[in-house]
Chains A and B, each alone.
Chain A
Amino acid sequence: MSDQKKMALIASQGTLDWAYPPFILASTAVALDMEVQIFFTFYGLTLLKKEIKAKVAPASNPAMPMKMPFGPKGFQDFDWPMPNVLMGNAPGFETMATSLMKKTFKNKGVASIEELREICVESGVKLIGCQMTMDVFGFDKEEFIDGVDVGGAATFLEFASEADIQLFI
């Protein structure tokens, strides 16, 4: 199909909240008969690892609403105020915030990052790891899931120049 739409994404972030947009958009774009490539660079590279350890980073994100995944509706809807001093200093705060967010996502019927990534791989989304940042961070292709290709800026730009949608995430 020559009139097939194309989407080119750059995934540059490795936190749990930022991990969702590229995989949601890519899996949905394929469902809409588009051809998709995601170029993973900098912290986005960690999303290619066999086991995704993405966490939320509440300390750097003052606008983040803190929700409880259990209890009565009023309790769940409440935005818990989280002072920066607590978020930045309390040991295990990030782990707790991550687990709360994962639970809330699950309760709301949202797929996990791993599920969405698997759908992307199964449905033929092309995943490209940025060779330069792999070298900088010391990542080896063997640490990534199967089917990941490596390349550089020119690899991305060649596809992106013919894509109908290009997003930097």
Chain B
Amino acid sequence: MNDIAYDQELDCKGMNCPLPILKTKKQVDTMDEGQVLKMVATDPGSINDMNAWTRRTGHEMLSHNEEGGIYTFYIQKT
């Protein structure tokens, strides 16, 4: 799932709760509808947190995966 096209990228590696969510929200707010954000984090809690965030805000979680302690999320702004 590494071939998803994205418009913007956000590095939240090393950040802990709630910073990845707060930074993601801030960046998504600046984007246009339909654009995709690739967010990378190392916080294991971010899987549940990011899914909760997209469910509440209505943005779409296109895909997420974990590799070697790095969590990658693709979120489409709706």
Contacts and interface: CB of A to CB of B under 8 A. Distances in A.
Interface stretch (B1-9, B15-23, B31-39, B65-73): B15-23
Interface in B16-70: 16-19, 21-22, 24-25, 43, 52-53, 56-57
Contacts of B14: 109
A33 B55 CA distance: 11
Interface of B: 14-19, 21-22, 24-25, 43, 52-53, 56-57
B22 A119 contact: yes
Given A33-B56, A33-B57, A28 B15 contact: no
B54 to A, nearest CB: 10
B22 A27 contact: yes
B18 A24 contact: yes
A111 interface: yes
Contact of A31 (B15, B16, B22, B43): B22
A111 B53 contact: no
- Most chain B beta carbons < 10 A, residue from A24, A27, A109, A116: A109
B19 A109 contact: yes
A108 interface: yes
B62 to A, nearest CB: 19
Contact of A32 (B16, B43, B57): B57
Interface string A17-33: 00000001001100111
A110 interface: yes
